[in-house]
Amino acid sequence: MKTKRKLTAALILALAGAFATVAQQQVLTGVVTDSMCGAAHMAKDKTPAQCTQMCVKDGMKYALAAGKSVYTLEGHEVELAKLAGQKVTIKGTLKGDTLSVQGVAASK
Ligand SMILES: [Cu+2]
């Protein structure tokens, strides 16, 4: 009985290790912004969409402001450009603060 419990514990540890090494697939909802402004845009005379476009033109990356977090977005820039300043649902893999985008959809 004791050995069986030990075996189970070892199996759980092995499984946890396997999960940690696989990049986590995420579905996040938030507002498309840029990596410089984050949730609050600096240019007050512009709409969030205009500010995002301007910042991206200046070399910033698209980002997703979700709750208190801001994630840098990688990939699907053409779709992100159309949805700048809007609420979206993004599917992708998260690595640190960077979300590799696999799919973008407008969200209500
Ligand atoms: Cu901006």
* pLDDT band at 42; cut points 50, 70, 90: confident
**Å from CA of 22 to ligand 1 middle:** 33
**Å from CA of 74 to ligand 1 middle:** 17
Q: Where are the beta strands (DSSP E) in 35-80?
A: 62-66, 69-74
Taking residues 69-94, report their average pLDDT.
97
**Å from CA of 5 to ligand 1 middle:** 55
What the block records as the tokens of 4 is 């069986």
Looking at per-residue pLDDT, the higher value among 27 and 8 belongs to: 27
**Å from CA of 36 to ligand 1 middle:** 6
**Å from CA of 1 to ligand 1 middle:** 61
Taking residues 70-95, report their average pLDDT.
97
**Å from CA of 45 to ligand 1 middle:** 11
Which CATH number applies to 24-106?
2.40.50
**Mean pLDDT lowest among 14-18, 59-63, 70-74:** 14-18
**Mean pLDDT lowest among 27-36, 37-46, 87-96:** 37-46
**Å from CA of 15 to ligand 1 middle:** 42
3-state helix, strand, coil in the chain (%, to 5): 35, 35, 30
The backbone region for 85, taken as left when phi is positive above 0, alpha when psi lies in -120 to 50, beta otherwise, is left
Its pTM stands at 0.77
d(CA 43, CA 36) in angstroms, rounded, equals 12
* pLDDT band at 43; cut points 50, 70, 90: confident
* pLDDT band at 17; cut points 50, 70, 90: low
Q: Where are the domains of the chain?
A: 24-106
* pLDDT band at 97; cut points 50, 70, 90: very high
Rounded (10°) CA dihedral 94, 98, 103, 108: 100
